[in-house]
Amino acid sequence: METHDFVRKYVELLSKITDAPEEFQEAAALFLLSSVVGRKWMFRSLPETTIFGAESKTSGKLLNVWFILVGKSRITRKTHGVIKPILDIIKGFLNAQHLLTESFTPESLIQQMADKSAIFARRNNCTVCYWISDEIAWLFKSLKKKESYMEMVDALLSKMYDGITYTRSTTGRGIEQIENPYLTILAASTDYLLTLFDESQVRLGFLNRFVFVIGHREQRKPLRTNPLTEDEKKVAAEIMSFLKVLSDKQTVTFMEMTVEAKQIYDLFEEEIEKRIENENLGIKESYYGQLPNLVVRIACLY
């Protein structure tokens, strides 16, 4: 199965079972791909390569993506139509040990990821974690209120997104280290979430790391009660088998653009930079600046 077939088959299968928007299912499929590839698939990029030092290492852009699904409660079936099937796959097939708790403080986030790092980093030289939440408004609400116990969580999450090793010294637990973090996020909320955003979170880059998927239900489907058909079971098995192959992969593969793709990308990046330089984009400027990075990550997943 090719990755574009994986995405298509996942969307088609779930669309037979729930009337959650197909945009949500496509994001969920990309989240699964992003989660299982870890640091085993990277886009070769010189700026991400270690240049100085005794041991210069070839590296690349990570393919971790963060999705927030935005849609009306019940109408868009975010929880049961999208989040629950993903959790079923992770808990039943991948590894629930990689899951973070749905809510956390900076202290507990660091502790969770450091504990997982002690387990995973020995095997994979990185710390792979998934955060899944069917209502992420609590995070932005606490950040907007500037609640003291949530200070620095956005900066910490941004560091996790960038894959930078994090180390701190604590009185009770000694040295805590999160080695080569690789964090993926699939979260959801209603459009109430948009009222909680802070301008500084855009200008400083935190919000720009998320891909926001706005979903509308096209047509209501009657509740399905009949079990999966044999054909549907076969597709489900193919989906799980494909994810297992990716998950079990041990070697690192570097992805590169073809000459034609690089020409298209260079023109796109040049246009973005011209707009930033010549137009008064205001608050949109930093989001425009992040677009080339998001485009590369999502294109590589496809």
Q: What are the backbone angles phi and psi of residue 280, rounded to the nearest 5°?
A: -90, 85
Q: Which residues of 150-175 are buried (b: 16+ CB within 10 A; e: fewer)?
A: beebbebbbbbbebeebeeeeeeeee
Q: Residue 56 pLDDT > 70, yes or no?
A: no
Across residues 203-215, what is the average pLDDT?
93
What is the residue type of 173? R
What average pLDDT does range 134-159 have in this prediction?
A: 87
Listed range (76-85, 89-98, 224-233, 287-296) with the worst mean pLDDT: 89-98
Does residue 257 lie in a domain region? yes
Does pLDDT of 94 surpass 90? no
Predicted confidence at residue 57, as pLDDT, reads 66
Q: What is the mean pLDDT of residues 131-154?
A: 87
Q: Is residue 165 part of a domain?
A: no
pLDDT of residue 122: 66
Mean local confidence (pLDDT), 172-182? 88
In-domain check, residue 293: yes
Provide the b/e sequence for 28-45 (b: ≥16 CB within 10 Å). bbbbbbbbbbbbbbbbeb
Residue 14 has pLDDT above 90, yes or no: yes
pLDDT tens, position by position, 64-86? 999 999 999 988 999 999 999 99
Q: Which domain holds residue 268?
A: 3-97+130-137+187-301
Residue 170 placed within a domain: no
Please state, rounded to an integer, the average pLDDT across all residues of the chain. 90
Least confident range from 42-51, 58-67, 158-167, 181-190: namely 42-51
Lowest mean pLDDT among 156-160, 168-172, 254-258, 292-296: 168-172
- pTM here is 0.93
Cβ of 136: how many Cβ atoms within 10 Å? 23
Place of tokens 């180390």: 167
- The angle subtended at Cα 84 by Cα 297 and Cα 188, nearest 5°, is 55
Residue 55: pLDDT above 80?
no
Round to whole Å and give the CA distance between 88 and 90: 6
What pLDDT score does 172 carry? 78
In a domain, 173, yes or no: no
Find how far residue 82's CA is from the centre of its chain: 15
Q: Name beta bridge partners: 41.
A: 253
Tell me whether residue 202 is in a domain.
yes
Q: Is the dihedral of CA 250, 43, 154, 91 positive or negative?
A: negative
Average pLDDT over residues 194-222: 91
Q: Is the pLDDT of residue 4 over 70?
A: no
Q: Is residue 220 part of a domain?
A: yes
Alpha carbons 162 and 209: distance in angstroms, whole number? 10
Q: How far apart are CA 169 and CA 255, in angstroms?
A: 37
- 33 in any annotated domain: yes
pLDDT at residue 200 tops 90: no
pLDDT at residue number 50: 72
Choose among 228, 291, 211: nearest CA to 23. Answer: 211
Neighbours of 223 (CB within 10 A): 7
pLDDT at 123 over 70: no
Query: Quick one: pLDDT band at residue 97, thresholds 50, 70, 90?
Result: confident
Among 138, 134, 139, 9, CA closest to 82: 134
Give the count of domains, the chain: 1
Mean pLDDT of 241-268: 93
> What residues contact 57, with CB distance under 8 A and at least 6 apart?
49, 50
Provide CB contacts within 8 A for 90, sequence distance 6+: 35, 96, 98, 99, 130, 132
Tell which wins on pLDDT, 175 or 59.
175
Whole-angstrom Cα distance, residue 63 to residue 16?
A: 29
Residue 58 has pLDDT above 90, yes or no: no
Model pLDDT, residue 217:
86
The predicted pLDDT at position 2 comes to: 64
Rounded to whole angstroms, the Cα distance separating 61 from 39 reads 9
Q: Where are the beta strands (DSSP E) in the chain?
A: 41-44, 60-61, 66-70, 127-133, 166-170, 174-178, 181-189, 210-214, 253-255
Please give the average per-residue pLDDT across 104-124, as a whole number: 85
Residues 161/183, Cβ–Cβ less than 8 Å? yes
